[in-house]
Structure 1
Amino acid sequence: MATASKPVPGRDETAVQRADRNWNELAQELRVTQTGTQILTAFLLTLPFQPRFADLSSRQETHYLVLVGLAVLTTALMVAPVSLHRFLFQRGRKPEMVRVADRLTRVGLITLALVVIGTTTFVFDIVLGEPATWIAAAACTVLLLALWLGLPWRIGRSDPLE
């Protein structure tokens, strides 16, 4: 995403218009990630109330608690731009708001990837046992790296006019 201070080739817009556009684009992205993050966090928070939760090993309990912590952190990071917008609304600080919200969202995507990988491995560990956990972790990591980093990197390297 272009920041509010850098001009975008092919766009004739003021810094304020650019900040507005960047904020709107970021808000659309957040709508998708916030919902998924909140559902994943809610799923994790309900697990202790399931009958089989008492059967977890101490390693699995630790894994679970790390996941809950990461999920809460991810939710906080993904919702923080909303709070930022609410407190800075109509104060003429949109370029700064876009820059900070972009950083929060980037870190949130990293923690979201960790939660998705961790939750996948947790479920595979419970259902199939530890050997399947490593396969699930590797597959999930490769998938997220390919789609969340590899694909954008590849498209970013190609000619935009192709």
Structure 2
Amino acid sequence: MDDDFTVKTEGTNADIDLSDMLVELRILLPGAQLLTAFLITLPFNSGFGQIIQFEKIVFMVTFFCSISSLILFTGPAIQHRLMRPLLDRQRFKNSATRQMVAGTICLTLALVLSANLVMSEVFGQRMGITVAVTMATFIGAMWWIWPIYARRRLSHHATSTKRIL
């Protein structure tokens, strides 16, 4: 049986891209699942009712972002299964990529806000905000800025190399 995510030696770039995307989603999904599981248990802890209103709002937004990341990360796999056989691989890959990026944005927000929530509870609101800003900077640099910079640099290098030849 032909699987659209299987990389074949004679396959197209779309085949390889779909396979790479599946591997990337397999890396992201457990983190989003673990964070969501953690967040699901919080309201059932005895001290949750005593957190301040701001922390409850942070929790609500964090939970929403975490659940949204799960939906967006699992969307391509479910859509792939329901749309088989894929008639337009490139369009599907583009749609799945947009969902994956949106899911990563949601996961970024959920991680930053959960850092705020935990640190605010342990060390106070000022420390929670400080840690959240630090995490936002770190995630922003590693997940967003560095890959875009590296891609542009490689693209510029490839263009310069072509001019020399």
Determine if the TM-score, normalized by the shorter chain, exceeds 0.5: yes
Match of 2:17 in 1: 22
Q: 1:62-141 to 2 correspondence within 5 Å? A: 62-141=57-136
Q: Cα deviations across residues 34-75 of structure 1 (Å, max 9, x unaligned)?
A: 111111111101111112112111221121111111111111
What is the alpha-carbon distance in structure 1 between the residues aligned to residue 22 and residue 137 of structure 2? 27
What is the alpha-carbon distance in structure 2 between the residues aligned to residue 77 and residue 52 of structure 1? 31
Code of the aligned partner of 1:71: S
Q: CA deviation at 1:84?
A: 1.2
Match of 2:146 in 1: 151
- Aligned length in residues: 148
Code of the aligned partner of 1:27: L
In structure 2, which of residues 28, 53, 58 is the aligned counterpart of residue 58 of structure 1? 53
What is the alpha-carbon distance in structure 2 between the residues aligned to residue 63 and residue 155 of structure 1? 33
What is the alpha-carbon distance in structure 2 between the residues aligned to residue 71 and residue 145 of structure 1? 17
Q: Percent identity?
A: 24
Contact 2:80-2:86 at 8 Å conserved across structures: no
What is the alpha-carbon distance in structure 2 between the residues aligned to residue 87 and residue 93 of structure 1? 14
Q: CA deviation at 1:96?
A: 1.7
Code of the aligned partner of 2:149: R
**Other structure's SS at 1:53 match:** helix
**Other structure's SS at 1:92 match:** coil
**Aligned Cα root-mean-square deviation (Å):** 1.8
Runs of at least 5 residues in structure 1 that lack an aligned partner in the other structure = 1-12
